[in-house]
Amino acid sequence: MAPSRTLSIIKPDATRRNLTGAINAVLEESGLRIVAQKRLRLTREQAEVFYAVHRARPFFKDLVAFMTSGPVVVQVLEGEDAVERNRAIMGATDPAKAAPETIRARFAESIEANSVHGSDSPENAASEISFFFTPAEIVG
Ligand code: CMP
């Protein structure tokens, strides 16, 4: 099976606690390769567009405030079945329900401040990757 790609975000709760390296180590140990990465501060508009699918949810305003509260690290991960592999490593959205040893079980603070985001389908991965990266910035 050919390698595929997914978009990952290390969220402000994790960058604040200096966990970028610890999370990257988990990703790399799982066999995923970080083929693009940059640290940035999302604008409110960027966060609203990125999470537009959640616009009607009661937690949307808080989510945008949280995602713009500090730096994030956006990354492209590459590997076999990258979307599903990354979702397995991240664990459930709610850290209380995440399997032991997953990133969210180990590091997340709450259902909102849950340390990482990962694309939920190959189609969304493609659009989320192009939201942050040009093809020339991705070096496989
Ligand atoms: P993520 O995988 O980035 O996708 C949407 C985000 O919204 C999610 O991670 C959490 O950060 C946040 N989120 C999802 N559900 C809730 C909830 N019930 N309450 C607060 N935040 C949530």
* DSSP string computed for 22-49: HHHHHHHHTT-EEEEEEEE---HHHHHH
* Ligand 1, atom 6: closest residue by C-alpha: 112
pLDDT in tens, 3-28: 999 999 999 999 999 999 999 999 99
pLDDT in tens, 25-73: 999 999 999 999 999 999 999 999 999 999 999 999 999 999 999 999 9
> At 2, is the pLDDT very low, low, confident or very high (cuts 50, 70, 90)?
confident
**Ligand 1 atom at minimal distance to the Cα of residue 117:** 3
* Ligand 1, atom 11: closest residue by C-alpha: 112
**Ligand 1 atom at minimal distance to the Cα of residue 54:** 5
Query: Dihedrals φ, ψ of 25, to 5°?
Result: -65, -40
- Please give all residues whose beta carbon lies within 6 A of any atom in ligand 1, as ranges: 54, 59, 63, 93, 111-112, 114, 117
- The predicted model scores a pTM of 0.97
Per annotation, catalytic residue among 24, 77, 117, 132: 117
Residue 111 DSSP label:
S
* Ligand 1, atom 2: closest residue by C-alpha: 117
- Decide if 117 is catalytic: yes
Write the burial class of residue 87 (CB in 10 Å: 0-12 exposed, 13-18 middle, 19+ buried): middle
Distance 136 CA to ligand 1 centre (A): 30
